Amino acid sequence: MGWAAGRHALITGGGSGIGAATARALAAEGANVSLFGRRPEAIEAVAAETGGRAFPCDVVNRATMEAAFAAARAANGPFDYVVLNAGIGDSAPFLKTRRESWDAIIATNLTALFDGAQLALPDLVGDLDKRLVIVASVAGLKGAPFAAPYAASKHGAVGLARSLAVEFAATGPTVNVVCPAFVDTPMVDDSVARIARAAKRSEDEARASLAAMNRNGRLISSEEVAAAIAYLCHPSSRSVTGAALAIDGGTTA
């Protein structure tokens, strides 16, 4: 068995993309995986693949989060690794951005992190080998034109992770944030479709334009991000806390 044998890993947004890849990476090291997501069929498929358990949950609803955390804890015991990954995106000129879009993005990308961290930390505090990892974006490290609500939410995610890292540094757990550039996920597929419609371009052209925004000229893979998350969960990363790990092919260098 691997270094995570018998450990309990909770992953929000676990039905696809980075969440699913992280579930595979941690399960391969022996972790018992609990998957949260809004789409039962998606998280159930990943749970079947990884030997984990699926808990349908909308992260913007505190009551359903509390129920899902309790159910996962009852099934697999206290949490050892908590990966808060669920997120949404949108793009529009700032002056045309609707308040409803702002509210939805902040609720999913930031307020849900507050709730998730509060619900997870009682299991994590007091153990130097327990981990809280937040998935943000390079948009949390620099400005993002036509995506002000998204960038604001991701800046907030970075600030939350760093603040928790300082607050809990003496007692554990570690708290870190990963900041990928454009990743080849269903969220990017949605962005590709929006760009293609707005610019009257093919989806291949729209996808290439997003890849070109990463300095290495390609989309990051979910597996690359999952490997970074697994590293932050590894026992050897005990002294890594408060880090904002850019996985961006040099985009923010």
> What is residue 1's predicted lDDT score, i.e. its pLDDT?
76
Average pLDDT over residues 92-99: 96
Indicate if the pLDDT at residue 190 is higher than 80.
no
pLDDT band at 29 (very low <50, low <70, confident <90, very high): very high
Percentage of residues in the chain with pLDDT exceeding 70? 92
Average pLDDT over residues 248-252: 87
DSSP notation for the chain: --TTTT-EEEEESTTSHHHHHHHHHHHHTTPEEEEEES-HHHHHHHHHHHT-EEEE--TT-HHHHHHHHHHHHHHH-S-SEEEE---------GGG--HHHHHHHHIIIIIHHHHHHHHHHHHHTT-TT-EEEEE--GGGTS--TT-HHHHHHHHHHHHHHHHHHHHTTTT--EEEEEEESSBSSHHHHHHHHHHHHHHT--HHHHHHHHHHHSTTSSPBPHHHHHHHHHHHHSGGGTT--S-EEEESTTTT-
> What is residue 212's predicted lDDT score, i.e. its pLDDT?
65
Tell me: the pLDDT tens digits for 197-242? 766 777 776 676 666 667 787 788 999 999 999 999 999 999 999 9
Tell me: the pLDDT tens digits for 161-188? 999 999 999 999 999 999 998 887 777 6
* CATH topology classification for 8-180+223-238: Rossmann fold (3.40.50)
Indicate if the pLDDT at residue 101 is higher than 90.
yes
**Is 231 one of the annotated active-site residues of the chain?**
no
Indicate if the pLDDT at residue 154 is higher than 70.
yes
* Domain boundaries along the sequence of the chain: 8-180+223-238, 186-219
Catalytic residue of the set 36, 55, 79, 150: 150
